[in-house]
Chain A
Amino acid sequence: AQSVTQLGSHVSVSEGALVLLRCNYSSSVPPYLFWYVQYPNQGLQLLLKYTTGATLVKGINGFEAEFKKSETSFHLTKPSAHMSDAAEYFCAVSAGASKIIFGSGTRLSIRP
């Protein structure tokens, strides 16, 4: 069965600092992996996705993630945090043709 573990329910960084949100997955088949962002009182927005091919994936708003099969990880990074990055971030893994499994989420706070 597929599952996702997000390490750290809350991460706080200073504005301009590196953002690192951790995600580890478990999948019995080659996974498709996603990062979504949810701003307060809004729906989810896709940041980036890994399907096959290049293991370093670039997304919107300066975010990127690297698929590491040996570590079963798909961590999300951004070199320099901005106040507007404050939100809830969800990692997700494919679980069939019509289903994705979400992690528990990480709330990102940005300190001025």
Chain B
Amino acid sequence: DTEVTQTPKHLVMGMTNKKSLKCEQHMGHRAMYWYKQKAKKPPELMFVYSYEKLSINESVPSRFSPECPNSSLLNLHLHALQPEDSALYLCASSHQGLAVPYEQYFGPGTRLTVT
């Protein structure tokens, strides 16, 4: 199974809402990632979890809160978002390299619209 699944596919939320994005993989990968992708742009790294511990936070605003409950699951909790946060949110996973990265496997993404 080389699939990364993400739910929901689409999400519309108001600026005062709290919602969560979910990501799951069963490939035994111990590194998991959240990316944000705006239209016609490359993915921008937000967070990296390595062995269920947060290893990279790319100075993401605190209204985005990641969580890795176990080695297969990754959540992104959203609160008080701004309209400019509307984007495609991609989850990815990979084996954890020691000095160089392994290839990342991406999910289909969650299309988020903040109204």
Contact = CB atoms under 8 A, between A and B. Distances in A.
Interface of B: 4, 6, 31, 33, 40-43, 45, 48, 50, 55-56, 90, 92, 96-101, 103-109, 111
Contact of A94 (B4, B48, B101): B101
Interface string A82-112: 0000000010001111111011110000000
Given A43-B90, A104-B41, A99 B106 contact: no
Chain A's interface size range is 20 to 34
Contacts of A99: 45, 48, 56, 101
Main secondary structure of the interface of A (DSSP, over half): loop
A8 B99 CA distance: 31
Given A32-B101, A97-B100, A98-B31, A45 B42 contact: no
Contacts of A25: none
A44 interface: yes
Given A32-B100, A34-B103, A44-B90, A98 B42 contact: no
